[in-house]
Amino acid sequence: MQFLLILGSLLGLIGALGAAGGGGKDDKPDEDDIPPTVPEEPEAPETDEDENDDLEEVEEEGFTPAVDIRISAAEDLSQDLIDAGSYAEQLLEGLFLSADDFGSQRVLNIDLRQDDIDGEGGTAALTSVSGIRQGQPTENATITFDRDDIDQLRAYGSMDEVMEHEMIHALGFGITWDTENLVGRDEDGSPVFTGTAATTSFQEFSGEEDVPAGVPLDGSEGHWHEGDVPGDVMNATVYDGAELSDITLASLADIGIPIDPSAYQDPEENMLLEEELLVA
């Protein structure tokens, strides 16, 4: 299963949303009417195993995270992508419970690469996860950035947020929901994420008196509906300063990720809404 990232700008979006669609929360296109637009997973260049550089693990002394994210960086990966991968890895590992508190340690292997996808514009990055099994955590994922779009990512200043977004997908956000039966419909027929913790967090955020059917999703059913969860890094639009909300953290707990929400500290204080990236 793949999630991809599409570049956009203030003057209009470049490319198409593909399978994600561009409609609001009430619009979900008929899959039979729309040809698939998600690109095939690009083949990684053949290299000797010794040529891959694993990112240096930086962990708090005495703390062993319950999920050990192990990133394998391709030899030709740009330094700013390596730095963004290290940033997202350390941010997320700092949110996990300790292995001692959780009772065990899981390993998530991420192959981080840059490759030719579809040229400048269009798909800028995609995440794929292999071997999805019900009730089991993700174990192996690939995050690929289109090398023709890296300069535009630099110009937007959103590479850290985009990497964070893709790495959260690698943990299972939007990818394992179907196998866990966590996507439902509200009374209007719009898609919602039905995880208990995230639904409770959304109720507190929205101030609704009645318990909602779930957290509203966009047409792709893999991201939050931006009008209901504004500014979150797991919306379909990612920009410099997009944040991890309590709702997103709770949703990770709903899929079995050993999260300690109280550990989160936002690394970005300023939101630059004019610098946007559309993801799907």
- The secondary structure of 55-81 as a DSSP string is PPP---TT--BSEEEEEEE-TT--HHH
Mean pLDDT, to the nearest integer, of 24-37?
A: 37
Instruction: For 75-84, write each residue's pLDDT tens digit.
Output: 889 999 999 9
Whole-prediction pTM: 0.75
Which residue shows structure tokens 């209009």?
Answer: 12
- Displacement of CA 46 from its chain's centroid (Å): 27
The residue with greater pLDDT, 51 or 99, is: 99
List the domain boundaries for the chain: 2-36+111-279
Instruction: For 173-232, write each residue's pLDDT tens digit.
Output: 999 999 999 999 999 999 999 999 999 999 999 998 888 999 999 999 999 999 999 999
Percentage of the chain with pLDDT > 70?
71
Contact 230, 245 (CB under 8 A): no
Query: What confidence score (pLDDT) does residue 132 get?
Result: 84
Is pLDDT at 121 greater than 90 in this prediction?
no
Query: What confidence score (pLDDT) does residue 87 get?
Result: 93
Percentage of the chain with pLDDT > 90?
47
Length of the chain: 280
Query: What confidence score (pLDDT) does residue 1 get?
Result: 62
- Which two three-digit tokens encode residue 192? 């919602």
Query: What confidence score (pLDDT) does residue 8 get?
Result: 44
Is pLDDT at 58 greater than 50 in this prediction?
no
Q: How far apart are CA 77 and CA 58, in angstroms?
A: 20
Mean per-residue pLDDT of the chain? 77
Mean pLDDT, to the nearest integer, of 11-19?
A: 29
